Structure 1
Amino acid sequence: MAILNLRSLGVTLGTPLFTGLDLTLNKADRVGLVAANGRGKSTLLSCMTGAFEPTEGEITRARGLRIGHLEQHIPDELGDLPLHALVLSALSAEQAEEESWRVDIVLDDLNIPQDHRQTPLRNLSGGWQRLAMLARVWVTEPDLLLMDEPTNHLDLVRIGLLERWIGTLPRDLPMVIASHDRAFLDAVTNRTLFLRAERSRLFPLPFSHARIALDEADAADGRQFDNDMKKAAQLRRQAAKLKNIGINSGSDLLITKTKQLKDRAAKLEDAARPAHADRTAGAIRLTNSGTHAKALVSFEDAQISTPDDRVLFKTGQAWINQGDRIVLLGRNGTGKTRLMTRVAQVLRGANDPEVRATPSIVPGISDQGLSQLDGYATPLEAITHQFDLGDQRARAVLAGAGMSIDMQNGPLVALSGGQKARLAMVILRLGHPNFYLLDEPTNHLDIEGQEMLEAELLAHEATCLLVSHDRSFVRAIGNRFWQIERNRLIEVESPEQFFSSQSELTL
């Protein structure tokens, strides 16, 4: 039974975000919504709720349909509310008075601790804020659940909890989930909508299988377009020959035939559609400086401690060699960030008898806070103040990263998370590093950006030590895996056992 129907839907904001979109949502549909940053995912969800009016097309909703919408951003006015009061405020006054018990049930289902429930929302971590807002949506008992980047700020444990929670929901509850987390989409969806400016595509498959089907469909479109254009060209050549013969012979029949051939060619050309070519947000290209050293970083039983000198773990003897793409695994609080910080200090020149870097190392460091962007007012300034490129070359580099002239000169703080992440990757590659230290590099990157970063790291056989909660990224990139376990750093063959253990944990 259809609960929501989109017909020829389109939104244009300066340029088209999407056009001619047809989508029918039935009960039990779990749709993954995939598009690059800024290409209309959030706008489409707002259209579904009725909060945003589309430029064209129609939306039909089932009578009395209750839609729950988990938005990306939290309204400022909600920040001071204690978590429990925040969720309670989603109910009507009558429900809040008579059915406040519903709040506790939802908070229990999402494993939100008692000591967090009276804490103001703005004082909670990003992960807890995300779950609090989900609780606020779910307590209203929606018939359709829309979620915009639900895994933002969540670690693996909370992502696993969210996946299990979704698995406990009624199977006939439809959902539309916009996300850049490929593994999450595979786990919780059964259909995938690739949102495009033209010819969006829907497949009755979770993301990874749908991605393969999309490439095959695009390739088929490309072959069909080439064939149609070849046929049109052949018809025009035939028309040209007949025209000459007709003129020389004075045959009206041949002149008529010439016009028919031209008309057929024009119809073919008008109907032919080229293969999809997205308005790319900019390539991520990395390069390596040369080094003859085999071991780039070495650890001599380094003791990793908290700022108050509490020992978290010891590394034992370990080496990072050329071509190693080492993923650091461990639960939050085990010391991953402390190890990454220690290595970063050594790469920046600190003397450390337990952690050493070869003198020929050229580091490329990106932390979760994208500190390489700190202190710069505009993207252009971030490039020109760090590298001797000249204004014209710097602008070309930024344009290659998908930044218009207005964005290049605009305030850096106005960039989206995804745009800042791409800019950070540009700054990395301009330094021509031969060793990358990457802490959550895919945070805020859309799937297109994630795939580009993966391709570049693999193509250049980059050496790196990285931390990531992105399971798809880890599986694609890692060729060695270090795990912090029982106060020791051990090497494991695969991340899968760690992923499995984290997804089964409760908070």
Structure 2
Amino acid sequence: MFHVVNLLLNALSPKIHFLSNNVCVLDCGGAEFEDGEEVYDAIGGLLQGSSADCKNEDDIRDICLQMFNTLKLNGHAASKQVLLDTPVQLSQISAESTGLTWTYVFLLSTSSTLSSSTHTPPQTVDARKLEKAEAKLKQKQGRRNERDSQKTTSPLVLEEASASQASSKKDSRVDLSGKNRTYDIRIENFDVSFGERSLLQGAELSLSTGRRYGLIGRNGLGKTTLLKMLASRSLRVPAHITILHVEQEVAGDDTGALQSVLESDTVREGLLTEERLLNARIANGTAEGMETVRLSEIYAKLEEIEADKAPARASIILCGLGFSPKMQTLTTKEFSGGWRMRLALARALFAKPDLLLLDEPTNMLDVRAILWLENYLQTWQTTILVVSHDRNFLNAVVTDIIHLHSQRLESYRGDYENFVKTKEDRLKNQQREYEAQFQYREHIQVFIDRFRYNANRAAQVQSKLKLLEKLFPDNFEKLSPPVLQLDEVEFYYNTDQRLFTQLSVSADLESRICIVGENGAGKSTMLKLLMGELTPVNGIRHAHRNLKIGYFSQHHVDQLDLNVCSIELLLNKFPGRNEEEYRHQLGGYGITGELATRPVASLSGGQKSRVAFAQMTMPCPNFYILDEPTNHLDMETIEALAKALNKFKGGVVLVSHDERLIRLVCRELWVCEHGNVRRVEGGFDEYRDILQEQFRKEGYL
């Protein structure tokens, strides 16, 4: 057993310093190892290979565990050095013992001179094996240091989504056999969670082929998560049904934009590839008889799917989404992220999957492209499930509404307006039934509890929305117009591309102006000129000396520190206030309770937008410049935002593609195009008519 102990001590060198043959100082602690298994990993093999008195693996594990417990110091890992308080009488340790019975005290600080001792016992182990043991220890320590470094630099660990469902063996057998040829989707009794939060419980989802469904619900309830569970087939969708989820932008490479869209039709691409190979074999004289027959079949199939018309169809889709003929020849790596998202949408539309999943497709589009997409989807032949906050888009496109609330899904026939009416009628009927049967409470307790819960939730939501309407404070002095003006402004990023020439616009505290135009026309640039973030090449920007602008960026998430919670975010931006003030500010936008203390990165897109609004309004601006403020907001919040802007006594200039918001808020419509801005007297109706006429003339419809 002396040999075993000696090996242990030497394997831990140079962490051990000897004061005499019987007394030693251990210059290490439990922090060097996470458990007894790590001690075993470090020196177990060494012991088993070198010790004659301890060959049993369990014995060695037990020795390593007791060594770890000794180093651990009963949890006192802070002391780096340990003085054993009695001599280690190795000769008295029984050879049959399976462990070490050391006693110890932890008295010495890191400054103790004991650590300078250089006395070492005679080496009794193979130097090469000792080096291997030490190398293993260093490797483990390196991994531990790396983990600690990652904790320091990336402390945020986001929750993951998961789904589960009850499925019958019969359905599974039919699906696997390939006999299930229906394109209807029915998923019963399923749950969806995000981390520890339950989003759906015992839910049912039915999607009939050829119908277009709008999935709606308040921010943070799980709409996007549900789409992801369907796309990943975490929820069981029949294997023969093809699914496309427009979620990520197209990767930037040397593929042309038009070719990228054509390649999304994998059937056509496969047939064309096979055709080229067979023709090459025929030209070389190496083709066999059956290959000639196969080539005829391929030609018939290509004719059946109208493969020759595919380039024209792909080009029409790209044009409708805003890609000019010149842009269609560019490689995908030459486009920005927003345009590559449009490419992803174009690829999905061209591929025609059996189930098309769209998550806020209008966020990436301008008004012109949205109008084209509405027209295009109205003739879609397969199934669509779309998440959208755009009320007009839903009214134009969907045939059914699926409402996510109270951890379940409810289906309604018709567009969004019909959903609102039907829901109101249902609530009225529930109220009448509740009042009529109140005296029989004991008999209908389940119904009453459910109704009361929904009614309370509805009241809470309405209360928050009414509060949101008051969150644009207007206790500021009136400013004489013009408070903000651009006069004969010329601007360009490079001389080859002049964005504006002789741009003259003005706004005051009465203004409610919406700017529309195609992507790339300069809308966001114009906002930055108004704010003074960009300096005109020529011309003048004038702003009232007391003007205080609140700006909401189209890319508002970029303005937020995702690694802190919402309270910390406001604290860092506006220090010196108490926590209650920050909570009150966030609470007005629906970021309450536990939401306010969660990392911003873990919030939904709509919840991040609400945090950005809370941050923007806290310093009480008297003029708001908003760039696509409705992205990711749910419909109730958009309605509340519109009411808040209408009640606000300051000025508002906004860029938006949301027809509902434009109609509710704006008194002036400016169209940004051809290096200038023009006012459309007839408002949004006139602008819509102009675009429809353009589509007809250009053949995009």
Short-chain TM bin: 0.7 to 0.9
Asked if 1:393 is matched to 2:543, the reply is no
Counterpart AA for 2:524: T
Tell whether the 8 Å contact from 2:261 to 2:350 is kept in structure 1 after alignment: no
TM-score of the pair, normalised by structure 1? 0.77
Deviations 1:452-505 (A, max 9, x none): 211221233552011111111111111222334664543524122223333544
- Measured at CA, do residues 305 and 6 of structure 1 come closer, stay the same or move farther in structure 2, by a change above 3 Å? same
State which of 345, 363, 366 in structure 2 corresponds to 1:152: 363
Identify which range, 456-465 or 42-51, moves more after superposition.
Answer: 42-51
Deviations 1:313-338 (A, max 9, x none): 4454x543433211123344444333
Distance 2:502 2:424 in 1: 46
Identify which range, 112-121 or 439-448, moves more after superposition.
Answer: 112-121
Distance 1:428 1:89 in 2: 41
State which of 493, 509, 512 in structure 2 corresponds to 1:325: 512
TM-score of the pair, normalised by structure 2? 0.57
Distance 1:33 1:196 in 2: 11
What secondary structure does 2:247 align onto? coil
Shift of 1:12: 3.9
Deviations 1:158-209 (A, max 9, x none): 2233223323434xx3322222222221211122111113453322221233
- Show the 5 A alignment for 1:17-416: 17-48=199-230, 51-53=233-235, 61=238, 65-74=240-249, 78-80=251-253, 82=255, 83=257, 84-85=259-260, 88=263, 91=266, 94-95=270-271, 97-98=273-274, 104=311, 106-111=313-318, 121=332, 123-138=334-349, 140-170=351-381, 173-198=382-407, 200-228=409-437, 231-232=438-439, 264-272=440-448, 273-274=451-452, 275-276=454-455, 277=457, 284=468, 285-295=471-481, 297-299=483-485, 301-308=487-494, 310=498, 312-316=500-504, 319-345=506-532, 354-370=540-556, 373=559, 378=564, 379-387=566-574, 388-403=576-591, 408=596, 411-413=599-601, 415-416=603-604
Deviations 1:39-97 (A, max 9, x none): 222333345456123xxxxx675xx752332232348xx45473535762662684462
Counterpart AA for 1:163: E
Deviations 1:424-466 (A, max 9, x none): 1101221112211111111222323322211221233552011
Distance 2:192 2:206 in 1: 18
Counterpart AA for 1:445: L
Tell whether the 8 Å contact from 1:80 to 1:120 is kept in structure 2 after alignment: yes
Counterpart AA for 2:315: D
Identify which range, 456-465 or 94-103, moves more after superposition.
Answer: 94-103
Query: Which of the pair has the greater relative contact order for Cα pairs under 8 Å at 6+ separation?
Result: 1
Tell whether the 8 Å contact from 1:324 to 1:464 is kept in structure 2 after alignment: yes
More helix by share: 2
- The percent of aligned pairs where both chains have the same amino acid is 23
Distance 2:405 2:646 in 1: 28
Shift of 1:288: 1.9
Deviations 1:396-445 (A, max 9, x none): 43355444677645554554432332111101221112211111111222
- Measured at CA, do residues 44 and 337 of structure 1 come closer, stay the same or move farther in structure 2, by a change above 3 Å? closer
State which of 592, 598, 616 in structure 2 corresponds to 1:428: 616
Aligned to 1:3: 184
What secondary structure does 1:195 align onto? strand
Give unmatched runs, 5+ long, in structure 2. Answer: 1-181, 275-301
Counterpart AA for 2:399: N
Shift of 1:294: 4.6
Shift of 1:383: 0.7
What secondary structure does 2:532 align onto? helix
What secondary structure does 1:359 align onto? coil
Shift of 1:146: 2.8
Deviations 1:257-280 (A, max 9, x none): xxxxxxx43222222122452686
Tell whether the 8 Å contact from 1:328 to 1:483 is kept in structure 2 after alignment: yes
Distance 1:293 1:489 in 2: 25
What secondary structure does 1:495 align onto? helix
Deviations 1:346-399 (A, max 9, x none): 8x999x984433334332122223388356852333311332422343234335
C-alpha RMSD of matched pairs (Å): 3.8
Tell whether the 8 Å contact from 1:436 to 1:463 is kept in structure 2 after alignment: yes
